Amino acid sequence: MPPITKETALEYHKLNGVPGKISIVPSKPLDTQTDLGLAYTPGVAFPVLEIARDPNLAYEYTDKGNLVAVISNGTAILGLGDRGALASKPVMEGKSVLFKKFADVDSIDIEVDTHDPEKIIQVVELIGKTFGGINLEDIKSPECFYIERELQSRMDIPVFHDDQHGTAIILGAALINALEISGKNIKDIKIVFSGAGAAAIASANHFVKIGVPRENIWMCDIKGLVYKGRKEEMFPEKEIFAQGEHTETLSEVLEGADMFVGLSVANIVTPEMIMRMRQAPVIFAMANPDPEIKFDLAKQTRPDAMIGTGRSDFPNQVNNVLGFPFIFRGALDVRASAINDQMKLAASEALSALAKEPVPAPILKAYGLNHLEFGPDYIVPKPLDNRVCLWEAPAVAKAAMESGVSRITIDLEKYEQQLIDRLKID
C-alpha cells in the first residue's frame, strides 16, 4: 500500500473537481413528463396520504427503510480529539461511503454544532422519522452513553453508537476465537484494558455478556487502575468496572493477565510489561495510527502471543467496517426498532464462525497473500472479505426476529440470496 500523505489525502477529497465523498443519485426514472408527474406533483400526493393513514407504509414508499443518519458533534474525532462539528464532516462522509460500499445502505451525515447533550438528543429525535436507523459517531464520553441511551428510549428505530459497539463486537469475535485457539476457559481469564472511554467500556460490557466474569476485567486509564472508591475522572459507566482498593500502574495490573486490550495511546506498553502476562497471551493494541506497543516488538518479545491492532498492515485488524454496515443491513431489512444485545452477540458469533472458513482466492489476492487460515494470525475476518455481509446481516436479522424487535419476518434462506444479488457477490 502506498503511503498516505497529507497531499494525497487532500487531493483525494477534491478529486476530479468534486468536493467530498458522497452524492445523491435518483433510484427511479425521471425522463418523461409522466415520470415527473409520478415523482412529484400530482402523483406524490398518493403516497403522502397512504403514509398519513399508516406510518409504517413509509418503509414501502420511501427510502426510510434503507436510510441511516450518521451523526456527530465532533467532540472525539478519531484520535484527534474535539475539533468541532464541521471538522468531523470528512469522517462522517467516509462513514456514509462505507455504508454504501459494503452493505448498500444509503446514509447522510449530519453534524450537530453543540456540546450540549440535551440539544443533540432534541435534534436527533426531531429528525428521526426520516431514517430507518441512527449511527452516532465521534461523540466523547461520558456524554455519549447518556445520548445513546436516551435516544433509544425515545425512538422506535435503532440508535447505535459505533465508537462503542462496533469495536466491542469485533473484539468479541476475537475473544471467542482466541480462547478456542489457546484452550483457555472464559471463566478463568484475566483481561486488562488500557483506556476507559466509550470503546473500552462497551467492549468490557460485551465481554461480560459473552461470558467473562466482571471481576476478571481490570481497567486502567491515564490515572492508573480504576479502583473502588477512586474519585478522579470517574463516571457511572466506568465505576461498574472498578477493581481493588488502591491505585496500581498498568504494568502492575498486567501481572498474570491473559488478554490486553489497548484503546488508549501509542507506545505506553513495554516489552517488560507484556513479559508479565501468562502463556499464550492475547495482545490487542489498537491505538491508531501507532499502537500501545508496536506489532513487531510485541511479537519479538512474546512469540507465543496472538496480536492484533487497528492497522491494515498487520494481522488481526480490528476494524469497525466489519460491523456497522452489516449490523444495520440486517436491522433495516427486518425493520428493527433497536439494535439490542442479542443482535450484537449474533454479530460477534457470525464473525467468529466466518474466520474458521476457508479463505477464497480473491480475498487472498486483495491482501497480497498466498495462504490464510484460522489460527493465531487470523482470528477475525479481513475487512475486504465480501462474505462478511452474507454471514453477519442474516445473523443480526435472525436475532432481531427472535428477540422481538423486528417489525416484519423474513425468510432467511431467500434473504441470503437477496444479499448476493443486491451486492453483486460472485
Domain ranges of the chain: 20-157, 165-309, 320-423
Calpha distance 268→297 (Å, rounded): 13
The pLDDT value given to residue 289: 83
Rounded CA-CA distance 143/236 in Å is 11
CATH topology for the 20-157 domain: Rossmann fold (3.40.50)
Integer angstrom CA distances of residue 335 from 6, 128, 147: 41, 14, 22
**What is the rounded CA–CA span in Å between residue 74 and residue 224?**
27
- When pLDDT is averaged across residues 302-326 and rounded to a whole number, the result is 94
Please identify which residue in the block is written with the cell numbers 467468529.
352
**Whole-angstrom distance, CA of residue 135 vs CA of residue 138:** 10
Average pLDDT, the chain: 96
Q: What is the pLDDT of residue 167?
A: 94
What's the grid cell of residue 179?
A: 480462547
Q: Cβ(225)–Cβ(248) under 8 Å? A: yes
CA 282, CA 258: separation in Å to the nearest integer?
A: 6
Q: What is the pLDDT of residues 145-176, one digit of tens each?
A: 999 999 999 999 999 999 999 999 999 999 99
User: What pLDDT digit, counting tens, does each position of 362-378 carry?
Assistant: 999 999 999 999 999 99
Fold equal for 20-157 and 165-309: yes
236's grid cell: 457511572
3 state SS of 412: helix
Q: Which amino acid is at 384?
A: L
Query: CB-based burial of residue 370 (10 Å sphere; 0-12 exposed, 13-18 middle, 19+ buried)?
Result: exposed
State residue 160 phi and psi, 5-degree precision. -135, 115
Q: How far apart are CA 242 and CA 234, in angstroms?
A: 10
Give the pTM.
Answer: 0.95
Task: Give the count of beta carbons closer than 10 Å to the beta carbon of residue 78.
Answer: 12
Confidence of residue 92 (pLDDT cuts 50, 70, 90): very high
Instruction: Give phi and psi for 89, each to the nearest 5.
Output: -60, -45
Bridge partners of 306, per DSSP, are 282
Residues tagged active-site: 40, 95
Can you give the pLDDT at residue 332? 98
* pLDDT over threshold 90, residue 288: no
Largest alpha-carbon pair distance within the chain? 75
pLDDT higher at 4 or 116: 116
Q: Which one-letter DSSP state was computed for residue 311? A: -
Other Cβ atoms within 10 Å of 131 Cβ, number: 26
Mean per-residue pLDDT for 274-293? 95
Q: What pLDDT, on a 0 to 100 scale, did the predictor assign at position 174?
A: 97
What's the CA angle centered on 323, arms 123 and 199, to 5 degrees? 65
Q: How far apart, in whole angstroms, are the C-alpha atoms of residue 73 and residue 88?
A: 7
Tell me if 331 sits within 8 A of 324, measured CB to CB.
Answer: no
Task: Read off the pLDDT of residues 387-422 as tens digits, 9 standing for 90 and up.
Answer: 999 999 999 999 999 999 999 999 999 999 999 999
CATH class of 320-423: alpha beta
Q: Are strands 217-221 and 224-225 parallel, antiparallel or unpaired?
A: antiparallel
Q: What is the DSSP string of 357-403?
A: SPPPHHHHHHTT-S---SBTTBSS--TT-TTHHHHHHHHHHHHHHHH
CATH, range 165-309:
3.40.50.720
